[in-house]
Each structure stands twice: as structure tokens, then as C-alpha cells.
Amino acid sequence: MSLTLAALATLSVAYLVYHFCWSLFFSPLARIPGPKSFAFSRLTLAYEDYKGTRTRKLNELHRKYGPVVRVGPNEVAFDSLSALRTIYGAGSAFERTSFYDMFQAYGRKNMFTYASTKDHGERKRMLAHAYAKSVLLRGRNSEMIMSKANNFLELLEREGRTSEIFSTLHYFSIDNITEFLYGKFGKTACLEGVAKDRALISDIMDVSRRKLTWFTIHFPNFTSWLYSQTGFMGGVAQHFYPMATPTTYTGIRLHAMKACQAYSSASEDQRANEESVISKLWKHHRTAKENGLDDLDVAAECADQLLAGIDTTSDTLMFLIWCLSRPEHKAYQQKVIDEVSKISNAELNADGIPHSEVCDKLAYVDAVIKETLRLFAPLPASEPRSLPRASTIDGYLIPARTVVSMSPYTLHRNLEMFKNPSEFNPDRWLDPSQDAAEMKKLFWAFSSGGRMCIGMHLAMAEMTTLVASMYRKYTTKTSGEFNTVSPGITSRFEVFYDETCRDVREHECRIQFVPQ
């Protein structure tokens, strides 16, 4: 027995020595700069994930080691325009990794989770027209967005001009995206006060979802097994759940499924004149003997786009309003007010809301949105990719299946491109002394290439219309401690906020709206 144990111990030590020597000295990645503790074990980065410090840590490593940093035995982070084009640019063959599997819905892949560019492209073609800018700025979609902007202003008058805007802006984004996706078959009325619809954001508010995300990424099989247990074992397993059931997005995905079931069971007459996303996908619906999408494929695609269309828009709007409302940014808010006040009566609808097509052309509003997205990108963390063959990026050999990534957080804080990168300054985008064209090349809030966010034009239409409508009627001020305290948002397993502030309040932001 003792000989067997000694042999096992010897083999274990030999393996560790081999792994250590290979990883640190002989691997093709050994040439890439970075801390040895990250290069030796993936657990080092996993620990940063657990602490919720991954993105800031990687930014720190880039500042120390340069634009190419080894952050794991098989992972490299980049921070350069050349790498951005190689990994994420048009025509890139780099694929999404298994990291994205956690975004599947009902056990089905969707456009966001497809690894290959071919599968992603085929699904995207089914939806591209629905998300075209020309389609979103005119007709029914424009009327929908203007209607929700008016509902938001009515909510302020009805429920109080000192508002907790993390919640109310989520109502705005949920009402827009549900009607856009499902039409009359699943649209919500959060802004009008419907309690069951408003309850959907409880899925988003539970901070324990960060812990569930960590386990899902780093221990996917164990996490799946844990939540699948029933009976006696289920009773035992629940004591070890990273997040108590119902878990994150349960309510939203249930709403999404019910909306799809309602559409599926509707008659052709009931579906007539529908211009929703689900109606576009249904054209590719199949029976058991045909090629195309089945019910779950359609449901999964819509559910993913529902989730993608909530936090992204509402979180950006929250930070935008909070930034403009801070005393030190009063001049920026006044520039927005001056610009939107020039919108003529002929450019308003019957409720006094500017047409979305008009709002799209507001240069200063656009600069404010860009600056907000630069500092507070709703998805600021790493976007991992890999390639099934070896490649060269920024002069380094990258073996096949190495995980490579970049993050908006780091790109948007590039010290050479953005002067005082931690400072909120919308004027930088219109300053003739700044190279706006070069700054835009590093602006990555909506990703780039074939994987660029399909909902970008919808998000921009919602944001420009609400901002213009709001600042035609109100000035805004921070309320209470939010002069010096930053609101915070949850993204995967991290909390993001304005790091120049002394404290943070996750999922909370209080603003006072003062009639002009």
C-alpha cells in the first residue's frame, strides 16, 4: 500500500513539474508577457471571477504588460485595433466558445450562442430586416417607441417626479422589447402599472445570480447536475444551490414561452398584420417533415432577444441620466436641453414626442450616448473566441483552440486614444482637436463584424427618443446620496459602476425630474 501511495505521489509531482515547465517555458504561449500565476493555472483567473474583479484586473494587466497578455494556460487577452480586426472583424473565422452555452434557452441554441459563423449568419439573415435602421425609425416601430417614451413621462407625473430610475427604465425597455418581439401576443404594460409585468424585473434584481453565473461558467456539469436532482437528493442539493430557485430569468423565460405558445395557437386571422419578430421567424417554422425552425427554436430565439433587449438599454439610460444629473456635469445637460429644444412642433407627434427619425440626427444627444456607452458599456467584460487552427495575432503564435478575448471596458479606456479616460466628457466626440474617427474604431459597445449586436438600431432609437423627449420637458438632478454615490449594474459575475465615486448602490439610482 505504501509503495502504491508513494508511486501515486511521485506521478503527481512529476505531472505538476511537467505541467509547470510546459506551461511556463515550452508552450508557444510562454513568449507572451503576463503574470506567472495566471499562466500556470486557470484557477487564478477563476478566482478573479469569483471576487467580481476580472475585468478590472485584466485592464490592470494590460496597463502593466501591454496590449497582449497571457491570462491563463490556454487564454490570451488583447487590447489593440489590429487584434480587434483579426478576432472580431468582418470575415473573421474565430468562433464563440462554450462560454456562451449558458445563454441557451429551453435547451436550444440561438443566434447569440451559435459557435460557428455559418450557423450564426443563417439565423441572422432570418431577422436582419426586422432590425434594419430604416424599419425601426419609421412606421409602427417608431410609433411604438414614441408611445413608450410618452408612457414613461406619464409615469413620472403619476408616480412622482423623484424616481428610482433603475426600475422605471427597465419598465421602459421591457415594454418596448416585448411588443417588438411578440406584438399583441406578449407585450407588457409595466409603464402603465401592471403588477405582474413589473414583477419580471425581480429576475434581474437578485444579486445572487452573479454566484450562479460563476458556477455555470466554471463548473457547468456540476451545476446542471445539482439543479436536476429531485426527491431526497433534491432536498439535499438545494442547500448547495448557488442561487435559490426560481433562478435568474425564470420569470422572463416563462413569459417568453407563454407568448410563443399564444402565437403558435392563434389563427391566421389573429396573426394578420403582425410585424413582430416572432411573425418573421414563423415564416421559417416547420412541421416534423420539413426543414426549418420548430416551436422551441422560435421560442428560444425570442427569449434570448428579450433578455438582450432589457438590461442593455435600461442600464445605459440610467447611467446617462445619472451622469447628466450630477452637479459637475450641469453644462453637458444644458447642451442636451439646448439641442432638443430646437426640435420644431412639426417634428413632434400628437403627444409632443419627437419622431424617432428626428432624434436619430441629434448630434449632441448621440455624443452623450456614445460617452455613456464608452464608460458604462452594458456588456463590458471579455468576449471569448477560439479558432480550430493555429493563427498569428499581433506577432504571436496562437495555437489552435486557444481562448482569445477583448473587452469593451479595456478598449474604451485606452490611454493613447482617450484623454482622461475615466472622465465623463461627451464633448470629446465633437471636439475637432480629437481624432473622432480613430476613437470610433475602438468604440466597441455593440461589438463588431458579423457578430455586431443585431439590436443596435433598436437600442439607439429607444435611447435617443426617450432622452430627447425627457429633456424637452424636464431638467434632472441627483437625489439624496447619488451626488457622490454611483449606481451599479450586474453583468455576469461582476458589478460595474463609476469608480471615481466613493461608494456604489447596486440596482438603484434616484433622480429628481424638475419641469422646465
What cell does 430 get?
Answer: 465633437
Let me know: does 171 contact 213? Beta carbons within 8 Å: no
Q: pLDDT tens-digit profile of 300-346?
A: 999 999 999 999 999 999 999 999 999 999 999 999 999 999 999 99
Residue 355 gets which letter from DSSP? P
Length of the chain: 516
Q: How far apart are CA 133 and CA 285, in angstroms?
A: 25
Residues 15-34, mean pLDDT to the nearest whole number: 78
Averaged pLDDT for residues 219-236: 92
CA torsion, points 424, 429, 430, 433, in degrees to nearest 10?
100
- Please say whether the beta carbons of 279 and 271 come within 8 A: yes
CATH architecture of 123-196+252-394+445-515: Orthogonal Bundle (1.10)
Interval 445-470 mean pLDDT: 95
Q: Please determine, for residue 290, whether its predicted confidence score (pLDDT) is greater than 70.
A: no
How much of the chain is helix, strand and coil, in % rounded to 5? 60, 10, 30
The rounded distance, in Å, linking the Cα atoms of 20 and 35 is 14
φ/ψ of 397, rounded to 5, equals -75, 125
Give the residue-averaged pLDDT of 390-414.
Answer: 96
> Is the pLDDT at 16 greater than 70, yes or no?
no
- pLDDT, residue 27, reads 86
pLDDT one-digit tens code per residue, 49-106: 999 999 999 999 999 999 999 999 999 999 999 999 999 998 899 999 999 998 888 9
Could you tell me what percent of the chain has a pLDDT over 70? 95
Give residue 3's pLDDT. 61
3-state SS, 219-287, equals CHHHHHHHHHCCHHHHHHHHHHCCCCCCCCCHHHHHHHHHHHHHHHHCCHHHHCCCCCHHHHHHCCECC
- What mean pLDDT, rounded, does the chain reach? 92
Q: How confident is the model at residue 1 (pLDDT cuts 50, 70, 90)?
A: low
> Is 181 a residue whose pLDDT tops 80?
yes
Report the alpha-carbon distance of residue 276 to residue 141 in Å, rounded: 9
507: left (phi over 0), alpha (psi -120 to 50) or beta: left
Compare 436 and 173 and report the one with higher pLDDT: 173
Q: Which residues contact 124 (CB under 8 A, 6 or more apart)?
A: 111, 450, 454
pLDDT for res 24 = 74
Residue 392 has pLDDT above 60, yes or no: yes
Outline which parts of the chain fall under CATH 1.10.630.10.
123-196+252-394+445-515
Mapping DSSP to helix (H, G, I), strand (E, B) and coil, where does residue 46 land?
helix
| Distance separating alpha carbons of residues 507 and 486, to the nearest angstrom | 10
What is the model's pLDDT at position 13? 60
Segment 244-282, tens digit of pLDDT = 888 888 899 999 999 999 999 999 899 988 889 999 999
Task: Count CB neighbours of 139 within 10 A.
Answer: 11
Cell of 483: 451626488
Residue 9's pLDDT is 66
Other CB atoms closer than 10 Å to residue 138's CB: what's the count?
A: 13
Q: At what angle do helices 209-218 and 220-228 cross, to 10 degrees?
A: 120
Q: How far is CA 487 from the centre of its chain?
A: 17
Q: Are strands 503-506 and 485-491 parallel, antiparallel or unpaired?
A: parallel
For residue 23, what pLDDT band results from cuts at 50, 70 and 90?
confident
Residue whose C-alpha is closest to residue 335's, from 311, 366, 300: 366
CA dist 168 and 317 (Å) reads 11
pLDDT of residue 18: 56
Reported as a single tens digit per residue, the pLDDT across 53-67 is: 999 999 999 999 999
Query: Which residues on adjacent β-strands are paired with residue 172?
Result: none
What's the rounded mean pLDDT across residues 170-177?
Answer: 98
Contact 455, 305 (CB under 8 A): yes
